[in-house]
């Protein structure tokens, strides 16, 4: 059967190859293998994409019908998900399907080019949402919008300023007339020069208000001018241009260790009667936590840890960088690496001959384990133990570059999602930071910069000049994204306290839609280009509204031990 298809297309959505596109000759490949092995057609990074097996699976083209495809799982340890659903064995694959390797693993889209018109993407199940209502204005004005302060407005303001100067002049004592006349002239000249420099939103606002009100008093004109200057638009382009080189992309991978034996920790699983593996959990006085064992004692377990990317910004000239705690020290925050499709889990009811005694049926629900923090684990191998997290790697890439620099964790906040890391570099230009939490108001314009995983990233092909590594390589260029928005509300810290997790801390609620995973730790700038917050979370849906959150910069300044600006 002949076909006009020329290439297989693999679009990487997340993982080490995020935003890269790979093409394979359709006629030259009967199958595409994927995994961390160097022999794989679609090769994943062996250091970063640790969820992927060495030979995870393959996409097979039907020999009789080349437009029919099968996805085959090579008994991978962490499984394969197609369109968010776990599949086992082989699965009929369609162009446009989303494939994820393991829970929280890298994601790519499978496609062919050109795609035949009769091969439309499969219908996806989505939650039905209430449609938004369209606002229809009762009147539509066809008058052109003014873009600057008009001549008449300018003359009225100048006349107003002259009248003020004249009143000041005539109320002075006659003996000081010459002196105060000179001062009055200078002040008048300064006011005129300042007014003539009104631009953009300032001019438009002042012109609009003055044009609508023909008989304003001097005091009212003063108020309009002051209000126009205080509510000027945020210069997004200028802020981005001035700070691009100061916003960094961070690559992270971490593991959990038992301190006394200095061994990596695994979360144990056990099969049920049907051969399906379920996670083990143990009830402690602090709550439900995973049943952890050291690596050499693990029979069937998954390592506790994760890999990913985040954002940060240069805080000092000697290489200190501020980011989130869940980026720089992820073991100190809520764990999301459970294999959720294997729930419910078994409850460990006791120990016998060094082995866990399990409940007859899996009874532990995801809700009972939500909120577990790895650094707070109390048991290992069924006995009390001390654990600690370690960054397997922590790398920083500066904007418009592909060169990674090794970094290390300096410290992490004990109460907020902030951490301080450092690269061994000098003469860096830091951002300007300002602690103005007490004066921030709802509606204030802001700009967030960072590296959301879904944003397209530039790539460059570099020829190798190393005779021992001659092949050219493709590198991703760190390209920060600028996300303008506003502060919706200032959220004050909860007064409640829990031994397990604190209440919702001091935060800014934002109306950003261009951020996402990978943006964590990015700076939030005010209208003058000062960093006043650190982006740390986003969520919601079409029904609830898309919302994001940032932490006041004062908690970052605490880690730097510097005086807070005013």
Chain position carrying tokens 């010459």: 178
The gap from C-alpha 275 to its chain's centroid, in whole angstroms, comes to 38
239-253, 346-360, 533-547: segment of lowest average pLDDT: 533-547
CB burial of 363-395 (b: ≥16 within 10 Å; e: otherwise) equals ebeeebbeebbbebbbbbbbeebebebebeebb
Where is pLDDT greater, at 58 or 501? Answer: 58
Does residue 138 have a pLDDT over 70? no
Give me the pLDDT at residue 129, please. 32
User: What 3-state class would DSSP assign to 66?
Assistant: coil
What pLDDT, on the 0 to 100 scale, is given for residue 394?
96
Enclosing H/E stretch for 249: strand 247-258
State yes or no: pLDDT of 136 exceeds 60. Answer: no
Cβ 57 vs Cβ 51: under 8 Å: no
Nearest to 530 by CA among 323, 313, 328, 248: 313
Average pLDDT, the chain: 78
Instruction: Measure the CA–CA gap between 556 and 321, rounded to whole angstroms.
Output: 10
Distance CA 514, CA 482 (A): 8
Tens-digit pLDDT profile for residues 307-360: 889 999 999 999 999 999 999 999 999 998 898 889 999 999 988 888 899 999
According to the model, what pLDDT value does residue 392 have? Answer: 94
Q: Residue ranges per domain, the chain? A: 7-113, 151-233, 247-393
Q: Is the pLDDT of residue 214 over 60?
A: no
What single string gives the DSSP state of each residue in 21-38?
Answer: EEEEETTT-SEEEEESST
Helices (H) then strands (E): counts for the chain: 8, 34
Residue 403 has pLDDT above 60, yes or no: yes
* pLDDT of 547: 77
DSSP 3-state of 489: strand
Q: Check if the beta carbon of residue 475 is closer than 8 Å to that of residue 460.
A: yes
The per-residue pLDDT for range 9-20, each reduced to its tens digit, is: 999 988 888 888
Q: Which of 154-168, 225-239, 511-525 has the lowest mean pLDDT?
A: 154-168
Residues pairing with 120 in the sheet: none
Instruction: Say if residue 190's pLDDT is above 60.
Output: no
Position 268 scores a pLDDT of 95
**pLDDT score, position 560:** 92
CA neighbor of 274 nearest in space, from 69, 61, 88: 88
Q: What pLDDT, on the 0 to 100 scale, is given for residue 183?
A: 43
Q: Which residues pair with 475 in a beta bridge?
A: 460
| 210/35 Cα distance (integer angstroms) | 67
Of 90-94, 116-120, 499-503, which gets the smallest average pLDDT? 499-503
pLDDT class for 406, splitting at 50, 70, 90? Answer: very high
The pLDDT score that the predictor gives to residue 477 is 79
Q: Residue 62: pLDDT above 80? A: yes
> Higher pLDDT residue, 425 or 476?
425
Percent of the chain with pLDDT over 90: 46
For 252-293, the pLDDT digits (tens) are 999 999 999 999 999 999 999 999 999 999 998 788 999 999
**Residue 53's Cα: distance from chain center in Å?**
27
Question: What is the pLDDT confidence band of residue 237, given thresholds at 50, 70 and 90?
Answer: confident
Q: What is the pLDDT of residue 29?
A: 94
Residue 412 bridge partners (DSSP): 419
Cβ-in-10-Å burial (0-12, 13-18, 19+) of 260 comes to exposed
Query: What are the E-state strand segments in 26-77?
Result: 31-35, 42-43, 57-61, 69-73
- Per-residue confidence at 218, pLDDT binned at 50, 70, 90? low
> Do the beta carbons of residue 264 and residue 303 sit within 8 Å?
yes
With beta carbons less than 8 A apart as the criterion, state whether 154 and 211 touch: no
- Enter the tokens of residue 387: 């654990």
Q: Which CATH architecture has domain 7-113?
A: Sandwich (2.60)
Q: By C-alpha distance, which of 330, 336, 315 is closest to 251?
A: 330
pLDDT over 70 for what percent of the chain? Answer: 69
Q: Report d(CA 23, CA 44) in Å as an integer.
A: 15
Chain-centroid distance, C-alpha 9: 27
Task: Please tell me the least confidently modeled range out of 29-38, 72-81, 158-167.
Answer: 158-167
Q: Give yes or no for a contact between 534 and 556, defined as CB atoms under 8 angstroms apart.
A: yes
pLDDT at residue 542 tops 60: no
* Residue among 369, 525, 512, 540 nearest 452 (CA): 512
Strand partners, 520: none
Residues β-bridged to residue 409? 421
Judged against a pLDDT cut of 80, whether residue 509 lies above it is answered with yes
Position 126 scores a pLDDT of 30
Taking the C-alpha atoms of residue 64 and residue 86, their distance in angstroms, rounded to an integer, is: 27
Intra-chain end-to-end CA distance of the chain, in Å? 73
Return d(Cα 390, Cα 252) in angstroms, integer: 11
Which alpha helices (DSSP H) does 301-376 contain, by range? 325-328, 366-369
**215 has a pLDDT exceeding 70:** no
């Amino acid at each position: 059967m002949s076909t006009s298809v020329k290439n297989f297309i693999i679009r990487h959505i997340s993982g080490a190859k995020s935003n890269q596109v790979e093409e394979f000759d359709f006629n030259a490949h009967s199958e595409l293998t994927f995994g961390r092995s160097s022999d794989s057609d679609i090769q994943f990074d062996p250091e970063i994409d640790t969820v992927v097996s060495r030979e995870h699976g393959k996409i097979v083209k039907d020999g009789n019908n080349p437009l029919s495809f099968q996805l085959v799982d090579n008994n991978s340890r962490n499984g394969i998900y197609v369109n968010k659903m776990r599949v086992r064995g082989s699965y009929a694959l369609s162009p446009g399907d989303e494939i994820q390797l393991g829970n929280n693993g890298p994601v790519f889209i499978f496609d062919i080019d050109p795609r035949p018109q009769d091969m439309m993407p499969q219908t996806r199940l989505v939650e039905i949402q209430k449609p938004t209502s369209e606002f229809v204005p009762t009147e539509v004005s066809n008058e052109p919008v003014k873009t600057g302060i008009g001549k008449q407005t300018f003359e009225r303001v100048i006349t107003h300023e002259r009248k003020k100067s004249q009143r000041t002049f005539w109320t002075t004592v006659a003996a000081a007339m010459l002196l105060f006349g000179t001062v009055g002239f200078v002040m008048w000249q300064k006011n005129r020069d300042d007014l003539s420099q009104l631009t953009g939103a300032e001019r438009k606002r002042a012109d609009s208000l003055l044009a609508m009100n023909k008989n304003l008093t001097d005091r009212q004109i003063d108020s309009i001018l002051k209000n126009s200057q205080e509510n000027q638009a945020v210069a997004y382009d200028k802020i981005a241009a001035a700070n691009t080189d100061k916003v960094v992309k961070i690559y992270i991978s971490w593991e959990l260790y038992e301190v006394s034996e200095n061994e990596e920790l695994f979360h144990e699983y056990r099969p049920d009667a049907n051969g399906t593996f379920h996670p083990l959990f143990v009830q402690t006085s602090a709550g439900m936590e995973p049943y952890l064992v050291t690596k050499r004692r693990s029979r069937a377990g998954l390592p506790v840890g994760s890999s990913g990317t985040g954002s940060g910004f240069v805080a000092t000239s000697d290489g200190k960088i501020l980011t989130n705690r869940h980026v720089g020290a992820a073991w100190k925050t809520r764990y999301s690496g459970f294999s959720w499709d294997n729930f419910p889990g078994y409850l460990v009811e006791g120990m016998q001959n060094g082995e866990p005694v399990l409940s007859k049926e899996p009874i532990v629900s995801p809700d009972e384990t939500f909120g577990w923090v790895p650094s707070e684990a109390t048991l290992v191998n069924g006995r009390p133990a001390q654990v600690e997290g370690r960054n397997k790697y922590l790398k920083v890439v500066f904007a418009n570059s592909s060169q990674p620099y090794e970094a290390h964790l300096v410290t992490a906040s004990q109460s907020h999602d902030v951490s301080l890391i450092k690269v061994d570099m000098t003469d860096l230009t830091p951002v300007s930071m300002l602690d103005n939490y007490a004066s921030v108001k709802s509606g204030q314009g802001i700009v967030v910069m960072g590296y959301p995983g879904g944003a397209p990233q530039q790539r460059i092909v570099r020829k190798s000049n190393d005779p021992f590594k001659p092949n050219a390589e493709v590198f991703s260029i760190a390209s920060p994204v600028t996300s303008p928005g506003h502060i919706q509300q200032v959220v004050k810290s909860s007064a409640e306290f829990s031994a397990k997790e604190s209440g919702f801390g001091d935060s800014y609620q934002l109306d950003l839609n261009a951020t996402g995973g990978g943006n964590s730790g990015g700076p939030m700038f005010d209208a003058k280009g000062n960093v006043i917050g650190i982006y740390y979370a986003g969520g919601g849906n079409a029904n609830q509204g898309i919302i994001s959150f940032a932490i006041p910069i004062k908690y970052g300044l605490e880690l730097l031990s510097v005086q807070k600006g005013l």
